[in-house]
Amino acid sequence: MLPARSRMRRRRDFESALRRGSRVGRRLLVVHLSTEPDGSPLVGFVVSRAVGDAPTRNRVRRRLRHLMRDRAPRLPDGARLVVRANAAAAGAGHAALGAELDVVLDRVLVKAAARRGGQNSEVVDG
């Protein structure tokens, strides 16, 4: 299980990641990643009613929290990651969610690094 200190709880953290962050989506999951100047990485989960009834939503959320436990160390300092489950996630197994999470996490980390690099890069004539 993802430690409680690593879970996003404040509305402004969710809003920051959703509005200003890099986004990557696939059939089962959509992830949003933003970075703050400092702090430890935080991960939040959004599982809407479109996913299913309360027991289904809670099962999907628990699976995602469990899967993020091993993947959280890959996040940079100050990261704010929101993992949003699409309706298709309700029928996906643990392995399918894990594989999808790996793909979207890899892509959003590359996208966010390129975004940061573009903002801070200097032009060097060689």
pLDDT tens-digit profile of 79-117?
999 999 999 999 999 999 999 999 999 999 999 888 777
**Does some domain include residue 125?**
no
- Supply angle C-alpha 43, 48, 51, rounded to 5: 110
Taking only Cα atoms into account, the Rg of the chain, rounded to an integer number of angstroms, comes to: 15
List, in sequence order, the alpha helices (H) in the chain.
Answer: 11-20, 54-71, 94-120
Domain carrying residue 49: 4-108
Q: Would you say 52 and 88 are in contact if contact means Cβ atoms under 8 Å apart?
A: no
- Residue 6 CA to residue 89 CA, distance in Å, equals 23
- Residue 72 CA to residue 113 CA, distance in Å, equals 16
Q: What's the domain count of the chain?
A: 1
pTM, entire model: 0.85
**Does some domain include residue 121?**
no
Write the CATH number for 74.
Answer: 3.30.230.10
**Does some domain include residue 114?**
no
**Does some domain include residue 119?**
no
pLDDT tens-digit profile of 38-69?
788 999 999 999 999 999 999 999 999 999 99
- Residue 114 CA to residue 116 CA, distance in Å, equals 5
**Does some domain include residue 18?**
yes
